[in-house]
Chains A and B, each alone.
Chain A
Amino acid sequence: MPVTPTVPVGVVAESIGVDARVVEVGVDEKGQMAVPLDVATVGWYRFGPGPGAVEGSAVLSGHVDDYEQGRGAFYRLAELAPGEPVLLRLADGAALDYRVRTVARMPKDELPLDQVFARDGPPVLTLVTCGGAFNRAASVYTENVVVTAEPVSAP
């Protein structure tokens, strides 16, 4: 995919101490969204809408934490509160301002995939990480944390 002005390269959420690099990701071998192995780095789902698109959900995902690497970029994601600001840095040097609308936790099998990855509807930024208990047998967390944020019009 060619680099366009809507490709995000950084995400900032000051209220939870996030200032992370963003890279483009696709899908893994299971057809799930690929998430960067480096837990300090956040992935943007490059097949979906980009930030600034007139419709659809731009999806960023980062690991919550890891035994070997420690806390991930989105370790405190669920501490975000509605109304708090999120900023995306774009490849062309511009930035986009968002404001948190919803913060939710849900079992992974209840993640509304078609809503998270919507390609139409109002423009939204969706931040996803893991949460809940860790299922040691399956080596996965049992829940997803999902934050949605709306674009703030330029002043």
Chain B
Amino acid sequence: MRRSTLALGGALAVAVALATGPAAAAQDTGTVFVVHGVPDTPVDVYVDGERALDDFQPGTTQGPVELPAGGHQVALFPADAADGSGSPLLSAEAEVPAGGNVTLAAHLNEGGSPTITPFVNDVGSVPAGQARVVVRHTAAAPAVDVLAGGDPVIRGLSNGNQEALEVPAGTIPVAVAAAGSTDPVIGPADVTLEEGTATFVHAIGKLDGGSLSLVSFTVSELHSSPSGVPSGAPSGAPSQDGVPAWLLVSTVAGVALVGVSARRMRAAARR
């Protein structure tokens, strides 16, 4: 699996290199995305006391980065703070599982207070022709329904929770409405889901004041192969010619003749 090509903050990359060293084995690290969903509050992000992200803007996302597996102290300071000393706006102890893939989302809880929620990212393979979309409620708003083409596909999603769907790849009109309603509070907007990808969508902002919006990132190369190639006889029976004789090398002539007459009966019976 290859991860998406989201731009990675230079400062974060440096911090991670310092933290892990070049020889860290993959199984000793976990993959981390970060989402900033607290409105009007640019921040600097400190991981284990080191500044990892400078001037991280609300409504944006960063990642993926590899962090050493285990617990990390994550602290958010105002973007104009001189350093990581004093009291942070927000802090959390984040557990990064070895070989895992997580999102750390800074966002508002239902009541409007800033918080940090960790989410596990489902980056398992996606069936052929499909895309995964994971919706996360990280906004100051009551429970919501997610509508696709006007119909609810996720019901009663509340703050701090996520729900995943696998859908045929393509472009679908998506909206978010208060639970039990079809009156959009976000969207509808066309969302394009590429085959073999997982898109993680975060509803952020505040319902009061109308600052709700979406921030998302996509992990690609999760595709699977089709399960077969059914390229014979769409009507359910082969042609009267049958396949060329050399394709039936193991079949004796008499059996082939019986086979042809049986196929004719079957085809006749279908009509």
Residues of chain B lying within 8 A (CB to CB) of residue A37: 234
CB of B247 within 8 A of CB of A78, answer yes
CB of A130 within 8 A of CB of B230, answer yes
Distance (Å) between the CB of A47 and the closest chain B CB? 4
A140 within 8 A of B: yes
Residues of B at under 8 Å CB distance from A? 127-129, 168-169, 195-196, 221, 223, 225-244, 246-248, 250-251, 259, 262-263, 266-267
Residues of chain B lying within 8 A (CB to CB) of residue A76: 244
Distance (Å) between the CB of A79 and the closest chain B CB? 8
A98 within 8 A of B: no
Residues of A at under 8 Å CB distance from B? 26-28, 30-33, 35, 37, 39, 45, 47, 59, 61-72, 74-76, 78-79, 105, 108, 111, 113-114, 116-117, 119, 128-134, 136, 139-141, 143-145
Distance (Å) between the CB of A148 and the closest chain B CB? 14
Cβ 8 A contact of B232, one of A33, A65, A117, A136: A65
Distance (Å) between the CB of B219 and the closest chain A CB? 15
Q: List 21 A-B contacts (CB under 8 A).
A: A26-B169, A45-B226, A47-B169, A61-B231, A62-B231, A63-B232, A68-B267, A69-B235, A75-B243, A75-B244, A113-B226, A117-B226, A119-B221, A130-B232, A133-B248, A134-B233, A136-B237, A139-B233, A139-B237, A141-B243, A145-B247
CB of B234 within 8 A of CB of A133, answer no
CB of A31 within 8 A of CB of B233, answer no
Residues of chain B lying within 8 A (CB to CB) of residue A67: 233, 235-240, 263, 267
Cβ 8 A contact of A32, one of B229, B248, B250: B229
A68 in contact with B235 given A31-B127, A116-B229 (CB within 8 Å)? yes
Cβ 8 A contact of A47, one of B129, B227, B228, B247: B129
Residues of chain B lying within 8 A (CB to CB) of residue A140: 230, 232-233
CB of B229 within 8 A of CB of A66, answer no
Residues of chain B lying within 8 A (CB to CB) of residue A66: 232-235, 237-239
A35 in contact with B262 given A65-B238, A70-B239, A78-B247 (CB within 8 Å)? no
Residues of chain A lying within 8 A (CB to CB) of residue B128: 27, 31, 33, 47, 117
